[in-house]
Amino acid sequence: MKLEALQGLVHKTRDARRQQTIPKFPPNERDTLIKKYHPDSRENAYRPIKFGPNAGELTVRELAALLEGDSPVPADLDLTPTYSVDVLVIGGGGAGSAAALHAHAHGAKVLLATKLRLGDSNTVMAQGGIQIAITSEDSPVQHFLDTLKGGHMKNDHTLLKTMVEEGPSIAKWLLDLGVLFDRDPDGNLHVKKGGGSSKPRLLTCSDYTGLEIMRVLKDEVLNQQIQLLEFSAAVELLSDGDGTCTGAILQDLDNKRFVVVAAKAVILATGGIGRLHIQGFPTSNHYGATGDALPMAYRIGAKLLQIDTFQYHPTGAVHPEQLVGALVTEGIRSEGGHLVNANGERFVNELDTRDVVSSSIIRECEEGRGVRTTTGRLGVWLDTPLLDIEHGPGTLEKHFPAMVRQFKRYGLDITKDPVLIYPTLHYQNGGVQIDVNGESGVRHLFVAGEASGGLHGRNRLMGNSLLDLMVFGKRAGTTAAERAKAMKHGKLTLQHLARFRAEARKHSGALAVRSPMLFPDYVRKE
Amino acid sequence: MDVKEFDKNVAIDQDEALRPKMVTVEIAGKKHEVPEGITVIKALWYTGQEVIRGAGCLGGYCGACATYYRTKDDPKVRTCLACSTAVEDGMSFTMVPPFPARKATYQLSELKDPKQDLFNLYPETPLCRNCNACTEACPQGIDVRDGVWRAVFGDFKAVSEMFMDCVMCGLCVPVCIADIAPNLVAVYASRAQGAFFTEKPKRLHERIEEIRQGKYDQEWDKILTMNEQQIKDVCAAIK
């Protein structure tokens, strides 16, 4: 049967489904569901890390190999610096740009290095919005509690309180830079409700929130004439031999040469790990999302946190094939879109947390209630036309122009027909352990954004990543700049790397791959 | 119904579907066989080419993969994003290298009259000769030419709305015979619209003030001194 024919059931059952309310799972059922179906619960996908700061702890095999992998940097590299700066920011997405702008504003000489172009990141793709508690029915405390609940109570309280409290001032900063958030008729910022949140608190720029923010930040980095090195990937950190970070080694991707940077502080803002395709999952992430911060920070001695938990966004496209893994924004579910199995039934409260919704979709597919695509993939329906029926014609076009456009390119009209979705690897919940200023366990080494860990617990709420990277990009940038004022450059050595390699040689299978990975290998070889 | 039987019912002639039909495309002047329907960027990977300059978000948002293409027997050269366009038989394409457009630098907060300042920062803007090439070049379907004129006439609000979809691929720039960079003009106009001509949101400023004055301090003390079970109960009670 053709997909077009199978869609018929979604149209046919729509009216009956609209009468239904699906309750959220009670806590114990929710835990059972996650334990049985969430990819984080698949034991054979995990193994203990053999050595280093997280020795013995479990993580996914793909990441473990990179953490135990070898640096491309030769032990005898000439460490005469090409650049000497106060603050080196590694990564040119939201966190890196925010960190660079704040460090610059605090008087630091900043160098921003990124392996693709400034702005090429996951931030630019963020569709859902940024969570900030601004309405009178809402409060930072409520934001804190919602996030804690969503994170299975495993969030770092101090980081989380800092994030929610600084949210409103971040919104002001972005507005002052010219970011155009959606407004209510009275001029106040419009808020939408996101999955797992008890109050509407998502600020949005239609479904281009990340694009709008990134466009502005990028423009501002250029306006401030912050020194920029594009197509320059960080491959190793430098230390003074005494556990303090003193710079980094970049690799110029055009000529493959190593570039040594001396820095009083280094801020890692390299984003997440989607392109590792953990457990074979497709991903919503950008091309460079290979978790570069993790092996680099690990080798210099920083402790990682909650690297056994990842977010699989419930609604990644599975059809057409060209869009596999691409995100269908949660906003569609926020505005009432139903998830529908092959029998035309709803099976989960669509606004439950992402881990719950993803687990339930996997359950439907594993129990034979999924729909098979032409290319053999399984998925369930997301009833998009329902939005226009529920809220009036033109709703999708107006609220989700990016989504409508994305499918239209392949001849699919989501205002008329539902789309097929399946969970896609979306976010690294954990990362490098940081303090409230974004500093890792290694002195003068800061981490901001998705690369850091602790804030989101074991599941991130929609809209919290944009806020996370703004708040901790700012704090890392500001702290690094202030600190740089009162200090000199440290000694540049690779002693940490020598120690790491010596330790690795005691373990069979270590140093087997080069890390950081930098890019996924999609090039076909024959 | 067991899983196997179910699959048989809904699967669509899978053997056939999984065997890709090959098509011939021309990449930067050279012919290659690639599976039909894969994206342009996947066709590059498929033919063994490493792409670093030209791959970004892979989701149609970052504008890194601007590409010129032509379909079989059609003289018209079109533009697309390589990550979001499927190949077809007889298609020719080449990725567009970065174009050295001039971006004006400015301190947004120091602008006195942003609508007038446009002519100092981008003096070429009013020299548009209405050729409409920019609009035709836009893979996002933005009426770029109209946007440029609206910027000139000071309707920054319209510009900001029209260019919300702009992924900054820059395909509108090399085609401009007046050397305008419409995407950069639009970013400027949109930012000025946001920073200068949009109402200050009252409620947000009230919230910032409330936090500053410690309105939530008591509540925080209560929450943060709870034991694990107490805070778990509070969270469990959230609707």
Would you call B59 and A284 a contact, using CB atoms and an 8 Å cutoff? yes
The minimum CA-CA distance between A223 and chain B, rounded to whole Å, is: 5
> Do A322 and B12 count as a contact with CB atoms less than 8 A apart?
no
Q: Which of B141, B203, B224 sits opposite A157 (nearest CB)?
A: B224
Q: Which residue of A has its CA nearest to B228?
A: A153
CB A351 within 8 A of CB A193: yes
Q: CA nearest A157 in B: which residue? A: B224
SS3 A183: strand
Contact A246, A491 (CB under 8 A): yes
Chain B nearest C-alpha distance from A504 (Å): 31
> What are the residues facing A252 on neighbouring strands?
A232
Instruction: Express each pLDDT in A167-218 by its tens digit.
Output: 999 999 999 999 999 999 999 999 998 888 999 999 999 989 999 999 999 9
Nearest residue of B to residue A365, measured between CA atoms: B3
Check if the beta carbon of residue A501 is closer than 8 Å to that of residue A511.
yes
CA distance A36 to A355: 12
pLDDT: which is higher, A354 or B156: B156
Q: Per residue of chain B (239 residues), give pLDDT as tens.
A: 343 333 433 333 334 444 578 999 999 999 999 988 889 999 999 999 999 999 999 999 999 999 999 999 999 999 999 999 999 999 999 999 989 999 999 999 999 999 999 999 999 999 999 999 999 999 999 999 999 999 999 999 999 999 999 999 999 999 999 999 999 999 999 999 999 999 999 999 999 999 999 999 999 999 999 999 999 999 999 98
Q: How many pairs of residues across A and B have Cβ atoms under 8 Å apart?
A: 230
Per-residue confidence band for A526, with pLDDT thresholds at 50, 70 and 90: low
CA nearest neighbour of A507 among A124, A15, A52, A199: A52
**Which A residues 205-244 touch B at CB under 8 Å?**
205-206, 208, 210-212, 215-216, 218-220, 222-223, 225, 231
Which of A219, A230, A327 should we substitute to test contact with B (largest number of B Cβ atoms within 10 Å)? Answer: A219
CB-CB under 8 Å, A211 with B61: yes
What is the Cα–Cα distance from A371 to A380, expressed in whole angstroms? 6
Contact B11 A326 (CB under 8 A): no
Mean pLDDT, chain A, whole residue set: 95
Nearest residue in chain A measured CA to CA from B237: A149
Type of residue at A156: D
Determine contact: A483 vs chain B, CB below 8 A: no
Task: Find the range with the poorest average confidence among A1-15, A296-310, B206-220.
Answer: A1-15
Instruction: Provide the 10 A C-beta neighbour count for residue B8.
Output: 11
A124 contacts on B by Cβ (under 8 Å): 56-57, 61-62
- For an interface test with A, give the residue of B121, B207, B227 to mutate (most A CBs within 10 A): B207
CB B44 within 8 A of CB B27: yes
The three-class DSSP label of residue A275 is helix
Q: How far is B12 from chain A (nearest CA, A)?
A: 5
Nearest CA in chain B to A215: B187
For the whole model, what pTM was predicted?
A: 0.95
- Nearest chain B Cα distance for residue A243, angstroms: 33
Dump pLDDT digits (tens) for A141-168.
999 999 999 999 999 999 999 999 999 9
Clarify whether A313 is annotated catalytic. yes
C-alpha closest to that of A102 among A469, A489, A476, A448: A476
Task: Give the 3-state secondary structure of residue B210.
Answer: helix
3-state secondary structure A111-149: EEECCCCCCCCCHHHCCCCEECCCCCCCCHHHHHHHHHH
Q: Which residues in chain B have Cβ-Cβ distances shorter than 8 Å to A322?
A: 37-39, 42, 84, 86
A522–B45 C-beta distance less than 8 A: yes
Distance from CA of A443 to the nearest CA of B (A): 28
Tokens 């992402």, residue located: A354
CB within 8 Å: B203 and A136: yes
**Tell me, what's the pLDDT at A402?**
86
Q: How far is B23 from chain A (nearest CA, A)?
A: 16
pLDDT value at residue B15: 40
Q: d(Cα A353, Cα A427) in Å, to the nearest integer?
A: 14
Tell me which of A2, A139, A180, A352 to substitute to probe the interface with B (most B C-beta atoms closer than 10 Å): A180
Per-residue model confidence as pLDDT tens digits over A379-400: 999 999 999 999 999 999 998 9
Sign for the pseudo-dihedral over CA of A238, A244, A247, A250: positive
Q: How far is the C-alpha of A133 from the C-alpha of A131, rounded, in Å?
A: 7
The per-residue pLDDT for A409 is 84
Q: Nearest CB to A372: which of B11, B57, B84?
A: B11
**A94-105 vs A209-223: helix crossing angle, rounded to 10:** 40
Select which of A313, A369, A458, A460 is catalytic. A313
Q: Where on the phi/psi map is residue B129: left (φ > 0), alpha (ψ -120 to 50), or beta?
A: alpha
pLDDT band per the 50, 70, 90 thresholds, residue A137: very high
Where is pLDDT greater, at A159 or A405? Answer: A159
The count of C-alpha atoms lying within 13 angstroms of the C-alpha of A148, restricted to the half-sphere facing its C-beta, is 26
Contact B191 A172 (CB under 8 A): no
CB spacing of B190 vs A178 below 8 angstroms: yes
Kindly report the length of chain A.
526
Q: How far apart are CA A239 and CA A491, in angstroms?
A: 7
* Residues of B in Cβ contact (< 8 Å) with A519: 52, 55
List CB contacts (< 8 A) between B194 and chain A.
175, 177-180, 216
Residue A178 sits at the chain B interface (C-beta within 8 Å): yes
pLDDT average, residue stretch A237-251? 97
| Min Cα–Cα distance to chain A from B128, Å | 23
Across the interface, whether the CB atoms of A145 and B57 are under 8 A apart is answered no
pLDDT of residue B239: 80
Which chain A residue has its CA at the smallest distance from B82's CA?
Answer: A322
Long-range contacts of A39-45 (CB under 8 A, 24+ apart): A39/A278, A39/A279, A39/A281, A39/A310, A39/A312, A39/A358, A39/A362, A39/A423, A40/A308, A40/A309, A40/A310, A40/A355, A40/A458, A42/A279, A45/A278, A45/A279
Are the C-beta atoms of residues A50 and A36 closer than 8 Å to each other?
Answer: no
Query: Cβ–Cβ of B232/A187 closer than 8 Å?
Result: no
For residue A1, the model assigns a pLDDT of: 59
Among candidate residues A104, A152, A319, A333, the one labeled active-site is: A333
- The C-alpha atoms of residue A13 and residue B136 are separated, in whole angstroms, by 42
User: Distance, in angstroms, between B6 CA and closest chain A CA?
Assistant: 6
Chain B nearest C-alpha distance from A165 (Å): 7
Q: Which two three-digit tokens encode residue B12?
A: 């669509």
pLDDT for the residue numbered B82: 96
Does the interface predicted TM-score (ipTM) exceed 0.90?
yes
Residue B4 is predicted with a pLDDT of 39
DSSP assignment, residue A92?
-
What is the per-residue pLDDT for B68? 97
- The candidate with the shortest Cα–Cα distance to A442, out of A271, A268, A297, A261, is A297
- Determine the average pLDDT of the residues in A94-100: 98
Length of chain B: 239
pLDDT per position as a tens digit, A419-460: 999 999 999 999 999 999 999 999 999 999 999 999 999 999
Using a CB–CB cutoff of 8 Å, tell me whether A45 touches chain B.
no
In this structure, what token pair is assigned to residue A161?
A: 């309180």
Nearest to A443 by CA among A290, A183, A240: A240
**A 94-153 residues with CB below 8 A of B?**
116-117, 119-122, 124-125, 133-136, 139-141, 144-146, 148-149, 153
A333 is annotated as an active-site residue: yes
Residue contact B46–A524, C-beta within 8 A: yes
Cβ distance B12 to A2 less than 8 Å, yes or no, reads yes
